[in-house]
Amino acid sequence: MAGHSQFANIKHRKGAQDKKKANRFTKLARELVVSARQGGGDPNYNPRLRAAMIAARKENVPKDKIEAAIKKGSSPAGGENYDEMRYEGYAPGGVALIIEALTDNRNRSASDIRSLLTKFGGNLGETGSVNFMFDHVGLIHYPVAAASGDAMFEAALDAGAGNCESGEGGHEITTSVEDLNAVREALAKKFGDAEASRLAWKPKNLIPVTDKDHILKIVRIIDGLEDLDDVQHVYANYDIAEDALAAAEEALKA
């Protein structure tokens, strides 16, 4: 599994599913609040908010919770003030990590992330220590059923996208940061709203990881980061074979 498949990153089957669902709702609600606060509460004029609403609906977040989060973000007295933070560091095997967070307590976030990385053989670096290994891009995802690979590829390039990769997991369209909204709108007119879309960090090169101990620690780090309420997205430049990943997942369940 390549770390650049950002809409289908490592997902484990461990733990209490209700807790994970609540954790996911918290992350989606924060994105709704921040999106509404930055661009207003009307999704017709706020592409980021519209994308956040689509993501929330896909995860079956109740309508009243979506509306409450948008209202909170749109209100001058909207409660918590979340800061958008980016943390950078390394996992075992020389794997680089970029961690995006929405937090109301920067010290807590940095402490939690540093502690987790250290626990499993990684380390937290300075901002800018690894981002040169990634391209900052727009990513748009459609399910397989939306169109054939050829049709999606042609439409994406006509809309101004840089690339389109199709497979069993769906269609992943890459754009420049500046062109994300325009490409998303053009594709929406042809295929309907994308399943997901956002700015992301895509590795320039992948690092093969074959050491079983390193793989297990990388899986633990990413799983632990995704369990933190403050962490929204995790990007990494690993390349792990599917069978090795499956073995690591089994070890986690043991």
Q: Is residue 176 situated within a structural domain?
A: yes
Whole-number pLDDT of residue 247: 86
Query: Element (H or E) spanning 100, and its range?
Result: strand 95-103
Whole-number pLDDT of residue 27: 93
Do 67 and 93 fall into the same domain? no
Whole-number pLDDT of residue 215: 94
Do 232 and 111 fall into the same domain? yes
Do 28 and 70 fall into the same domain? yes
| CATH number for the domain that contains residue 116 | 3.30.70.980
Q: Residues 6 or more apart from 166 whose CB is under 8 A from it?
A: 144, 149, 152, 153, 172
Do 186 and 227 fall into the same domain? no
Answer with the one of 54, 74, 94 that is the final residue of a domain. Answer: 74
The torsion angle over the Cα atoms of residues 109, 99, 118 and 82, rounded to 10 degrees, is 0
Q: Is residue 202 situated within a structural domain?
A: no
Do 162 and 185 fall into the same domain? yes
Whole-number pLDDT of residue 4: 44
Read off the pLDDT of residues 80-89 as tens digits, 9 standing for 90 and up: 789 999 999 9
Residues shown for the chain: 254
Do 39 and 87 fall into the same domain? no
Q: Given 3-state DSSP classes, what are the helix, strand and coil percentages for the chain, each rounded to the nearest 5?
A: 50, 25, 30
**How many domains does one find in the chain?**
3
Alpha carbon distance 15, 235 (integer Å): 22
In the beta sheet, which residues pair with residue 97?
89, 236
Q: Is residue 41 situated within a structural domain?
A: yes
Q: Is residue 203 situated within a structural domain?
A: no
Read off the pLDDT of residues 152-171 as tens digits, 9 standing for 90 and up: 999 999 999 999 999 888 99
Do 28 and 64 fall into the same domain? yes
Do 93 and 57 fall into the same domain? no
Cβ pair 160, 138 in contact under 8 A: no
And the tokens for 72?
């909170």
Do 29 and 68 fall into the same domain? yes
Whole-number pLDDT of residue 11: 43
| CATH number for the domain that contains residue 25 | 1.10.10.200
Alpha carbon distance 39, 48 (integer Å): 8
Q: Is residue 215 situated within a structural domain?
A: yes
Q: Is residue 199 situated within a structural domain?
A: no
Range of the domain at 22: 17-74
Work out the end-to-end distance of the chain between its first and last CA atoms, rounded to an integer number of angstroms: 22
With a cut of 70, which residues of the chain have pLDDT below it? 1-20, 77-79, 254
SS3 (DSSP) at 170: strand
Alpha carbon distance 97, 188 (integer Å): 31
Whole-number pLDDT of residue 76: 79
Do 57 and 21 fall into the same domain? yes
Whole-number pLDDT of residue 3: 53
Q: Is residue 138 situated within a structural domain?
A: no
What pTM did the predictor assign? 0.88
Measured between alpha carbons, how far is residue 251 from residues 12, 45, 175 in Å? 11, 47, 37
And the tokens for 42?
């009307």
Do 123 and 217 fall into the same domain? yes
Q: Is residue 43 situated within a structural domain?
A: yes
Do 30 and 148 fall into the same domain? no
And the tokens for 116?
């987790």
